[in-house]
Amino acid sequence: MSRIRVLVGTRKGAFILMSDAARRDWQVSGPFFGGWEIFHIAGSPANPDRLYASQTSSWFGQVIQRSDDGGLTWNPVGNDFAYIGDPGTHLYYDGTPKPWTFKRVWHLEPSPSDPDTVYAGVEDAALFRSTDGGQSWQELPGLREQQGAKWMPGAGGMCLHTILLDPVNPARLVVAISAAGAFRSDDGGVSWKPINRGLHSQYIPDPDAEVGHCVHRIAQHPARPGTLFMQKHWDVMRSDDAGESWFEVSGNLPSDFGFAMAVHAHDPDTVYVVPIQSDSEHYPPEGKLRVYRSRKGGNDWDALTDGLPQEHCYVNVLRDAMAVDTLDSCGVYFGTTGGQVYVSADAGDHWQAIVRDLPAVLSVSVQTLP
């Protein structure tokens, strides 16, 4: 019988939530790495017991932890994220040049086929790859050549937070950076191009610029990798040509600002977002925590509220804090800055809190285990 393992990164450690396929009764373990910020934990699709975690601290810097037994035990592996060559400068918040400096790993994306290959998206924005299980890391520097001097941090930092490995074409990668935009490689990460045509951002000098857009998240369905959904700083966007062009699908959302986004495991046209009031008020509109689901690939959205607080709720749902499982009845999960992790075992119709009082949740990822 299938089991579900939910990997939760928080401001003060990591937690692992386990359930059978019913997803009603949960076993909670942790905190692991108590007191450290865990930006992301991810499991290898090729070996689900191989987990990688990004452990970071303003005091003691970056650690990458690896588990080979599904999170029972962990060991630190390599943390040397050295940019190739002189990385030069990017723009700071005030528009002045600032030297590129490594700060932390935001996102880890294991290869679908090789447990020892894993990608890391870092701040200041760059993409690294390890092919030895995280022991050593090599930058893919061609990405920063895409007008990197014009990139600028979003409020959370200049982070590379989204890494999509195309399941059909292994040479194709898509990444997203706040605030630089989306980029695609079609040659395994050697060369890159901006894929931001159609994005419109009033908060940058040229709203239609080739780079500089604050992309918060991109989601993709493995069966239709050419279709991408994007939660931008403002606007929910869609591309049907692997990012060559984008069009807006915000439709009837109460706000098209937000961070998290996911696509249903079995239906490429079913998309989930969590609208947030605004970039000035990082909480849900009207104090109601609502997931919105479109079954038509955007534009037409329904509020999902059953089991979610509908008054006095002022949490946020961060960009890496929403995920789905692959059971027949698709499970949807998200974590909040208030420390709740919610699950819906029926694709969003009904929700329950798995835990309510964790530290602020930074990331949620899900493994469907045999």
Among residue numbers 103 through 162, which ones bind another protein (CB under 8 A)?
Answer: none
Rounded to 5 degrees, φ, ψ at 24 are: -105, -40
Structure tokens at 345: 């075992």
Q: Quick check: 61 binds another protein (CB under 8 A)?
A: yes
Q: Which of 62, 196, 220, 255 binds another protein (CB under 8 A)?
A: 62
Site string for another protein, 10-49 (x = CB under 8 A): -------------------------xx-------------
| Minimum CB distance to another protein, residue 228 (Å) | 34
DSSP string, 254-313: S--EEEEEEE-SS-TT-EEEEEES-SSS-S-GGG---EEEESSSSSS-EEE-TTS--SS-
Q: Quick check: 58 binds another protein (CB under 8 A)?
A: yes
Q: Which of 27, 29, 57, 136 binds another protein (CB under 8 A)?
A: 57
Site string for another protein, 312-331 (x = CB under 8 A): --------------------
The gap from C-alpha 90 to its chain's centroid, in whole angstroms, comes to: 23
Nearer to another protein, 57 or 169 (CB): 57
| Minimum CB distance to another protein, residue 99 (Å) | 10
Q: Which of 63, 262, 321, 361 binds another protein (CB under 8 A)?
A: 63
Structure tokens at 135: 């022991």
Q: Which of 15, 39, 52, 102 binds another protein (CB under 8 A)?
A: 102
Q: Which of 22, 27, 29, 82 binds another protein (CB under 8 A)?
A: 82
Give the count of residues interacting with another protein (CB under 8 A). Answer: 15
Rounded to 5 degrees, φ, ψ at 161 are: -115, -15
Nearer to another protein, 122 or 324 (CB): 122
Residues 6+ apart with CB under 8 A from 239: 195, 198, 227, 228, 230, 245, 246, 247
Sign of the CA dihedral running 97, 85, 165, 239: positive
Neighbours of 277 (CB within 10 A): 18
Nearer to another protein, 62 or 316 (CB): 62
Nearer to another protein, 27 or 57 (CB): 57
Whether 110 contacts 43, CB under 8 Å: yes
- Closest C-alpha among 231, 296, 302, 299 to residue 269: 296
| Minimum CB distance to another protein, residue 64 (Å) | 10
Q: Phi/psi class of residue 144: alpha, beta or left (left: φ > 0; alpha: ψ in -120 to 50)?
A: alpha
Site string for another protein, 177-206 (x = CB under 8 A): ------------------------------
Q: Which of 1, 59, 312, 357 binds another protein (CB under 8 A)?
A: 59
| Strands laid side by side in the 236-239 sheet | 215-221, 224-232, 236-239, 247-248
Nearer to another protein, 59 or 206 (CB): 59
Neighbours of 287 (CB within 10 A): 14
Neighbours of 143 (CB within 10 A): 23
The stretch among 60-68, 124-132, 220-228, 287-295 that binds another protein (CB under 8 A) is 60-68
**Residue carrying structure tokens 């990444």:** 175
Q: Which residues form the interface with another protein (CB under 8 A)? A: 35-36, 57-63, 76, 79-80, 82, 101-102
